[in-house]
Amino acid sequence: MHRCTRGAVVRPLTPCPAGAGAGSQPCGCDRGHGGRPVAAGGGGGAGPPAAGRVPSGPLPPHGLRTSAPPLRAAPRRLPGRAGPGRAGAEARRAGGRGVAAMSGLLLRALRSALRVPAAARPLRTAAPCAAFAKELFRGALSKEEVFPYPEISNEELQEINQFVGPVEKFFTEEVDSKKIDQDAKIPPETLKGLRDLGLFGMQIPEEYGGLGLSNTMYARLGEITSLDGSIAVTLAAHQAIGLKGILIAGTDEQKAKYLPKLASGEHIAAFCLTEPGSGSDAASIQTRATLSEDGKHFLLNGSKVWISNGGLASIFTVFARTEVVDKDGQVKDKITAFIVERDFGGVTHGKPEDKLGIRGSNTCEVHFENTKVPIENVIGEVGGGFKVAMNILNSGRFSMGSASAGMIKKLIEMTAEYACTRKQFNKKLSEFGLIQEKFCFMAVKAYVMESMAYLTAGMMDRPGFPDCSVEAAMVKVFSSEGAWACVSEALQILGGLGYMKDYPYERFLRDTRILLIFEGTNEILRLYIALTGMQYAGKILTEKIKEIKKGNVGVALEEFLNKLRDSMGRKVDFGLAGDRGLVHPSLQESGKKLEENVYYFGNTVRGLLSRFGKTIVDEQLVLKRVADVVINLYAMTATISRASRSISIGLRNHDHEVLLTNIFCTEAYFKNNYTMAQLQKYAEENLDDCIKKAAKHVLEKRAYTCSHPLDRTF
């Protein structure tokens, strides 16, 4: 089906209202800047349909292992232990032939035999996605954007499955994550294996020697590559950010010159934005590029910190300040993006940082001293670098959803084996409700992440370069926090063993923590999500008010009727549930909950806009809640749409999907109601003033100031 053919097109940026994190690196904006819901009706959803049933509902057709419990004294079979399994893997590794090399050959043969050339793949006929997430802020549900759940063609499915097998085999048999973590280095033979598999060029078009994967296919492979955090970061730093600028905004000459060696992995790329004084506030970078007198090159000077692949890369995407003469003839400092080759000279790097997790990934300072960069190496326009940076970051975030889900699915397998064999109090762990709850929690999170990630990837794969930056940011926030919570629960299932270095859980925990920090911290992304949506809703509202002031009776009447219906207890109906609804009957209750939440979210946003006006940008605690609700709404939409598809086409275990969806939607619905209640003007549930007061006290004293419980005044 559709292959992304972005070429040199830069997607238009979503302007962000000033204040969203002071021109922050990840917020995605292109400017530099630092009513109580109605009570829920309905219960927890209708029961799931009988397994195997393919209902003729209203949807269109597309639409433990167990082993004998070990005796207490017997050596326990432990998940992930460096035991016979690992020795076997080592022996296989030592076997030397190399899965990757063979797989590489195999893949190339398969690619030529099976692959549908990009140009020959039928493009989806659907219209480009039109701001699904932003519409939620207006209390609208553009169901045609998300129903049915995105579908890929048989050819594309067959193609991706041909990649999945060898990559899985390589990661199972040849990647030694424990050693990578201990040595804080990915061994050369592993890097070679990754190159042989083509994993350095996943989204680079075939004409430049890459695999030319669509976003959906990239997400699928991300489920596997995420099984080793260090490798996942190395590959992502190279292609999701390091070379992405060339891909989305580079000239044909730049692509032809740089992409082939980057696709093969002969050259590794890095993305150089962060500086000691400039993290989230990316617009404040100080690295400078000065145009030479003959106008043929820039001289680059400055230092970047925490650059993934900084010590390995030969090609860098570097952001620097440049002088730009604007239309009025005034000289201004603007950011420009450059392709910098290590061979240009004056490029040095520090020693690899010693980190908490993803220890095998290479993170370094990178310094540029009078590095001569030809003007042909500017990416996009001189002065247009901030947009390039935001577009790069916005385009890659969605993949954190499938990557995190891939890791959690693996953790479920590993821990389920243990829970079903380990006995305490004469019972298997799996028989205890509190352990069962953890498995349900992990399954729900994995399901939601997958659903959000593939829905977003499907939207991004539509023709017309749709702007899915808000959706992608929501996937990133949900899945990074979900992954962190799930790894912690998985470790807890193992008890003390989970804490031991002999087992991989503590490594997963350390590796996962970075997900909340890089590619835009979750704080900045929440501000971005909330402010982008509120700005969108605010514009439309302002237009309506203008129309009413002009005497447009139609608009005035519509507003009046809306208020009247609300005051009479409106029944919300977006066409999801009911006889003619889009969701399957077994998901009706979830559909209704989503509809109701969306409607009252729209009202809540309106209330906030009229209450705060432009000062909303300073209301971070409010914005966080707005973001939390809309993330839940998107997640509910993704799961309902996916589960409906699964039932309608009779997918294996679709009843389990319905169960997970109904659990998630019910919990999210009540959380949303509580959060929206907190957003009301005089809400008792809202403790913001107290929270600010307590924080102020702590920060003023720079300490915890309560007396010790043992202190006395007598």
Can you give the binding site for ligand FAD, defined by CB under 6 A?
21-22, 25, 237, 271-274, 279-280, 306-308, 355, 363, 514, 517-518, 521, 523-524
Comparing CB distances to ligand FAD, the nearer of 28 and 498 is 28
Q: How far apart are CA 599 and CA 565, in angstroms?
A: 12
What b/e string do you get for 409-436 counting C-beta neighbours within 10 Å, with b at 16 or more? bbbbebbbbbbbbbeeeeebbbeeeebe
- The residue sitting closest to ligand FAD, measured at its beta carbon, is 279
Comparing CB distances to ligand FAD, the nearer of 129 and 524 is 524
Name the residue among 182, 225, 229 with its Cα closest to residue 510: 229
Tell me the two tokens of residue 131.
């701001």
Least Å from the CB of residue 272 to ligand FAD:
6
Give the active site residue among 275, 519, 595, 596: 519
Cβ-based neighbours of 711, under 8 Å, separated by 6 or more: none
Tell me the two tokens of residue 500.
């031991």
DSSP state of 580: T
Least Å from the CB of residue 354 to ligand FAD:
11
Q: Is 122 within 8 Å of 579 (Cβ atoms)?
A: no
Comparing CB distances to ligand FAD, the nearer of 284 and 456 is 284
Least Å from the CB of residue 516 to ligand FAD:
8
Least Å from the CB of residue 128 to ligand FAD:
30
Comparing CB distances to ligand FAD, the nearer of 356 and 564 is 356
What b/e string do you get for 60-73 counting C-beta neighbours within 10 Å, with b at 16 or more? eeebeeeeeeeeee
Count other C-beta atoms under 10 Å from residue 357's C-beta: 20
DSSP run (H or E) holding 301: strand 297-308
Tell me the two tokens of residue 545.
């008010």
Comparing CB distances to ligand FAD, the nearer of 528 and 601 is 528
Q: How far apart are CA 437 and CA 439, in angstroms?
A: 5
Comparing CB distances to ligand FAD, the nearer of 355 and 423 is 355
Comparing CB distances to ligand FAD, the nearer of 312 and 630 is 312
Least Å from the CB of residue 245 to ligand FAD:
12
For residue 469, the cross-strand partners are none
Place of tokens 């040095």: 348
Q: How far are the Cα atoms of 140, 555, 557, 601, 611 from residue 545, in angstroms, in the given order?
A: 18, 9, 12, 20, 15
Comparing CB distances to ligand FAD, the nearer of 523 and 595 is 523
DSSP state of 275: B
Least Å from the CB of residue 512 to ligand FAD:
12
Q: Residue 684 is which amino acid?
A: E
Q: How far are the Cα atoms of 91, 103, 551, 615 from residue 86, in angstroms, in the given order?
A: 8, 21, 76, 57
Q: How far apart are CA 688 and CA 610, in angstroms?
A: 19
CA 372 to chain centroid, in Å, comes to 36
Q: How far apart are CA 525 and CA 25, in angstroms?
A: 10
Comparing CB distances to ligand FAD, the nearer of 518 and 669 is 518
Least Å from the CB of residue 25 to ligand FAD:
5
Least Å from the CB of residue 457 to ligand FAD:
22
Least Å from the CB of residue 182 to ligand FAD:
18
For residue 194, the cross-strand partners are none
- Number of residues written out for the chain: 714
Least Å from the CB of residue 206 to ligand FAD:
27
DSSP state of 570: P
Least Å from the CB of residue 304 to ligand FAD:
6
Q: How far apart are CA 357 and CA 484, in angstroms?
A: 13
Least Å from the CB of residue 624 to ligand FAD:
9
Q: Is 644 within 8 Å of 581 (Cβ atoms)?
A: no
Main-chain dihedrals φ then ψ at residue 176, nearest 5 degrees: -105, 90
DSSP state of 572: P
Comparing CB distances to ligand FAD, the nearer of 179 and 355 is 355
DSSP string, 106-156: HHHHHHHHHPPPGGGSPPP-SPPP--HHHHHTTT---HHHHSSPP---HHH
Q: Is 643 within 8 Å of 567 (Cβ atoms)?
A: no
For residue 349, the cross-strand partners are 366
What b/e string do you get for 556-571 counting C-beta neighbours within 10 Å, with b at 16 or more? eeeeeeeeeeeeeeee
Comparing CB distances to ligand FAD, the nearer of 359 and 592 is 359
Comparing CB distances to ligand FAD, the nearer of 451 and 620 is 620
Least Å from the CB of residue 284 to ligand FAD:
10
Q: How many CA atoms lie within 13 A of 426 on its CB side?
A: 0
Comparing CB distances to ligand FAD, the nearer of 145 and 523 is 523
Torsion, Cα of 230, 232, 238, 244 (10° steps): -150
Q: How far apart are CA 206 and CA 579, in angstroms?
A: 46
253 is catalytic: no
Catalytic positions = 519
